[in-house]
């Protein structure tokens, strides 16, 4: 699936929720169930410091596609990471570089991606794109 | 006895909604809300007599100067300083601490000791570390115990004739512990050391008497006590303020300037370079008047009742641990739910319109002591109510249910 298709799928899923509680419960459940990163990659250098919750990101390239794994010590942050990984992982570097994150608005999680929010997610998206740019340069 | 329901009418912000729910504001230790009386004072300043002070011959400048200096006297009276010029207007607590730290950089030398407490906010650690790096003095720490209290025996052990300065907060921002500053000041003075007390967390709850305390420096911010942001004071004993060199150069702080030499102005202007936060200073005076009208004894009694009730109710929640359990504390409760990140709890509470602080509260050494990434901190003011405490307790229960 393309990034846009996955984003539309997520928007559809979230449109079934009536209120914030259902949306958050869904994200919390995502955060609880997904093993997102191997312990060996939860290193100091893979940490994106976000003041309050820590975020770890690791990137790899397989068959010209970037595979991301990530984690956080806060579960709501982890839930949002799970959504971001679903969108960005297993895509070509070019697609990742060109993708936008407007869908976050549409699923009612905009406040988590405010640059002033102390959860490291904005830096995380920047980091995902940086990895994609690095791999894109390698591929060329 | 305070009637919070009536008092709340003074605070327009308290009637707003957040995320579709009535705001429950429990982040008072970060900043307090502003009553209409203080807002009116700010509007009045800009509407009627906004002018630069201390130098104009025109009427507006004179009126603004009078009001600004009257505010200084209000503050002097409030803290019971002997002289009005012992009150230096600053941009806030951090500015006051840095002013004193900078002043001492020319008075300290290698072999001297500086003592801080383990309960400090970063703003009361970093300037002293910088001071020690610069002068070669050593930084020593009064440790804390499991209850979040300073271990005073250890203070006795590290205090010596080498000690030149002791820095301690009156009340810990992260835990709410009231520190035994009377004892600390007395002991430090026996060795000739000066004491600076950071009163940012104390002034919203109690009325410090700087002469009775015999404290050398006392700093605080207006925005913690119903005033505006960006203004605060440094109280310093006259003898100390005369000893310290000026912090910043500029207008207002000079007596005479030639290219050969500048002579500094007398206190307090020596430390008030440039155009100050005139409106802020005046509004700080109005805030102090407002709080004194309510009465600090009434405020203390009311907030203590809130603290006792909230502590009891929160402790009923299984898996909730409170950090900072001293008998001597103000209306601050720092807590965590077992194996749940404070950020998650704060996020769910915000969704319910409840404003609390989460994180390390700029006091990482305290969090390291307890081996936690941070806490959820609910801090209560005199305008909070029992039903808001109930809303918090329900919110925490819901967060626990969703996050476990």
DSSP letters spanning B94-145: HHHHHHHHHHHTTT--TT-EEEEETT--GGGTHHHHHHHHHH-PEEEEE-B-
Count of CB atoms situated within 10 Å of the CB of A6: 19
What tokens does B134 get? Answer: 């610069």
Mutate to test the interface with B, among A74, A109, A111, A113 (most CBs of B within 10 A): A74
Any idea what the CATH number is for the domain that residue A44 is in? 3.90.1010.10
Q: Which residue of B has its CA nearest to A112?
A: B347
Could you report the per-residue pLDDT of A107-137, keeping only the tens digit for each? Answer: 888 777 666 666 667 788 888 999 999 999 9
Across the interface, of A20, A76, A118, the residue whose CB is closest to B344 is A76
Measured on CA atoms in the order B57, B63, B67, B70, is the torsion positive or negative? positive
CA proximity to B7, closest of B281, B306, B208, B283:
B306
Across the interface, of B343, B348, B351, the residue whose CB is closest to A52 is B343
**Could you write out the DSSP letters of every residue in B251-262?**
TTSEEEE-SS-E
Q: Cα distance from B76 to chain A (closest Cα, Å)?
A: 38
Q: Which pLDDT does position A50 carry in this prediction? A: 61
- State whether residue B403 sits within 8 Å of chain A by CB: yes
Contacts of A119 in chain B (CB under 8 A): 343
- Please tell me which residue, B399 or A76, carries the higher pLDDT value: B399
> Total structural domains in chain A?
1
How far is residue B38's CA from residue A38's CA, in Å, rounded to a whole number?
55
Q: Which pLDDT does position B276 carry in this prediction? A: 94
pLDDT band at A51 (very low <50, low <70, confident <90, very high): low
Q: Which helix (H) or strand (E) holds B287?
A: helix B278-294
With an 8 Å Cβ cutoff, the interface of chain A facing chain B consists of 20-21, 24-25, 28, 51-54, 73-77, 118-119
Contacts of A76 in chain B (CB under 8 A): 343-344, 347-348
Q: Which helix (H) or strand (E) holds B88?
A: strand B87-90
Task: Return the DSSP state at A67.
Answer: E
Q: Which pLDDT does position A115 carry in this prediction? A: 63
Contacts of B340 in chain A (CB under 8 A): 75
pLDDT score of A41 more than 90: no
- State whether residue B126 sits within 8 Å of chain A by CB: no
Across the interface, of A24, A73, A118, the residue whose CB is closest to B341 is A73
Contacts of B351 in chain A (CB under 8 A): 20-21, 24
Q: What is the pLDDT along chain B (404 residues), one digit of tens a residue?
A: 899 999 999 999 999 999 999 999 999 999 999 999 999 999 999 999 999 998 778 999 999 999 999 999 999 999 999 999 999 999 999 999 999 999 998 899 999 999 999 887 777 788 888 889 889 999 999 999 999 999 999 999 999 999 999 999 999 988 899 999 999 999 999 999 999 999 999 999 999 999 999 999 999 999 999 999 999 999 999 999 999 988 877 666 767 777 777 777 889 999 998 899 999 999 999 999 999 999 999 999 999 999 999 999 999 999 999 999 999 999 999 999 999 999 999 999 999 999 999 987 777 888 888 888 899 999 999 999 999 999 999 999 999 999 99
Mutate to test the interface with B, among A52, A54, A121 (most CBs of B within 10 A): A52
Contact A65, A95 (CB under 8 A): no
How far is residue B246's CA from residue B20's CA, in Å, rounded to a whole number?
50
Across the interface, of A28, A51, A118, the residue whose CB is closest to B403 is A28
Where b means 16+ CB within 10 Å and e means fewer, B353-383 reads: bbbbbbbbbbbebbbebbebbbbbbbbbbbb
Alpha helix (H) residue ranges in A89-120: 93-98, 103-106
CA proximity to B171, closest of B363, B351, B368:
B363
Q: Cα distance from B232 to chain A (closest Cα, Å)?
A: 26
How far is residue A18's CA from residue B79's CA, in Å, rounded to a whole number?
54
Report, as residue numbers or ranges, the catalytic residues of A: 51
Contacts of A53 in chain B (CB under 8 A): 341, 343
CA A31 from chain center: how many Å?
A: 12
Mutate to test the interface with B, among A53, A78, A81, A111 (most CBs of B within 10 A): A53
A21·B374 Cβ contact <8 A: no
Mutate to test the interface with B, among A17, A24, A33 (most CBs of B within 10 A): A24
CA proximity to A128, closest of A74, A91, A73, A102:
A91
Report, as residue numbers or ranges, the catalytic residues of B: 362
Range of the domain at A46: 3-139
Three-state secondary structure string covering B322-347: EECCCCCECCEEEEEECCCCHHHHHH
A52·B344 Cβ contact <8 A: no
Residue A106, CA distances (Å) to A12, B131, B286 in order = 10, 51, 45
Assess: ipTM above 0.90.
no
Calculate mean pLDDT across residues A40-53: 78
Asked, as a colleague might, if the bond just before B268 is cis with ω within 30 of 0, I would say yes
What tokens does B100 get? Answer: 């004193």
**Ordered domains of chain B (ranges, CATH):** 4-28+295-403 (3.90.1150.10), 51-293 (3.40.640.10)
A28·B342 Cβ contact <8 A: no
CA proximity to B33, closest of B292, B277, B303, B223:
B223
Q: Which residue of B has its CA nearest to A28?
A: B403
Q: CB within 8 A of B358, min separation 6: which ones? A: A52, B342, B343, B345, B346, B374, B375, B376, B377
Q: Which pLDDT does position B363 carry in this prediction? A: 77
Contact B315, B307 (CB under 8 A): no
pLDDT score of A34 more than 70: no
Calculate mean pLDDT across residues A20-48: 84
pLDDT band at A39 (very low <50, low <70, confident <90, very high): confident
Across the interface, of B342, B343, B402, the residue whose CB is closest to A77 is B343
CA proximity to B356, closest of B336, B371, B339:
B336
Contacts of B343 in chain A (CB under 8 A): 52-53, 74, 76-77, 118-119
Q: Cα distance from A136 to chain B (closest Cα, Å)?
A: 35
Q: What are phi and psi of A13, to 5 degrees?
A: -60, -45
- State whether residue B404 sits within 8 Å of chain A by CB: no
A76·B358 Cβ contact <8 A: no
């Amino acid at each position: 699936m393309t990034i846009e298709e996955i984003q539309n799928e997520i928007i559809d899923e979230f449109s079934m929720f009536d209120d914030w509680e259902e949306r958050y419960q869904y994200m919390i459940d995502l955060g609880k169930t997904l093993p997102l990163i191997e312990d060996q990659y939860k290193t100091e250098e893979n940490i994106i410091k976000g003041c309050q919750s820590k975020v770890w990101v690791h990137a790899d390239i397989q068959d010209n596609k970037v595979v991301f794994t990530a984690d956080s010590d806060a579960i709501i942050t982890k839930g949002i990471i799970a959504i971001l990984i679903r969108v960005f992982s297993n895509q070509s570097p070019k697609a990742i570089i060109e993708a936008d994150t407007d869908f976050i608005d549409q699923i009612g999680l905009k406040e988590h991606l405010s640059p002033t929010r102390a959860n490291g997610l904005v830096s995380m998206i920047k980091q995902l794109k940086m990895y994609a740019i690095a791999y894109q340069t390698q591929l060329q | 006895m305070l009637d919070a329901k009536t008092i709340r009418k003074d605070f327009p912000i308290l009637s707003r909604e957040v995320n579709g729910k009535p705001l429950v504001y429990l982040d008072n230790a970060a900043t307090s809300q502003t009553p209409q009386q203080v807002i009116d004072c700010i509007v009045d300043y800009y509407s009627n007599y906004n002018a630069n002070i201390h130098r104009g011959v025109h009427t507006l400048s004179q009126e603004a100067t009078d009001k600004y200096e009257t505010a200084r006297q209000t503050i002097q009276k409030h803290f019971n300083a002997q002289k009005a010029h012992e009150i230096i207007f600053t941009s806030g607590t951090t500015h006051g601490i840095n002013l004193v730290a900078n002043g001492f950089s020319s008075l300290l030398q290698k072999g001297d000791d500086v003592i801080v407490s383990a309960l400090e906010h970063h703003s009361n650690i970093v300037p002293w570390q910088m001071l020690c790096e610069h002068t070669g003095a050593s930084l020593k720490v009064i440790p804390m115990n499991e209850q979040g209290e300073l271990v005073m025996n250890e203070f006795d052990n590290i205090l010596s004739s080498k000690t030149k300065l002791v820095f301690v907060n009156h009340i810990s921002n992260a835990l709410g512990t009231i520190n035994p500053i009377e004892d600390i000041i007395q002991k430090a003075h026996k060795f000739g050391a000066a004491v600076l007390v950071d009163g940012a967390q104390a002034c919203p709850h109690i009325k410090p008497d700087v002469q009775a305390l015999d404290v050398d420096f006392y700093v605080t911010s207006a925005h913690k006590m119903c005033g505006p942001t960006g203004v605060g004071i440094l109280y310093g004993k006259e003898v100390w303020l005369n000893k310290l060199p000026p912090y910043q150069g500029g207008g207002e702080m000079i007596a005479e300037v030639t290219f050969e030499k500048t002579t500094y102005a007398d206190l307090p202007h020596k430390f008030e370079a440039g155009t100050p936060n005139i409106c802020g200073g005046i509004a700080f005076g109005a805030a102090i008047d407002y709080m004194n009208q309510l009465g600090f004894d009434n405020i203390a009694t009311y907030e203590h009742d809130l603290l006792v009730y909230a502590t009891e109710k929160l402790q009923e929640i299984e898996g909730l641990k409170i950090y900072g359990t001293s008998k001597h504390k103000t209306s601050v409760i720092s807590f965590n739910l077992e194996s749940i990140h404070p950020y998650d709890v704060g996020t769910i509470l915000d969704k319910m319109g409840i404003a609390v602080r989460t994180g390390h509260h700029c006091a990482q050494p305290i969090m390291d002591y307890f081996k936690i990434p941070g806490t959820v901190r609910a801090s209560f003011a005199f305008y909070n109510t029992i039903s808001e405490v109930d809303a918090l307790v329900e919110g925490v229960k819901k967060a626990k249910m969703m996050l476990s």
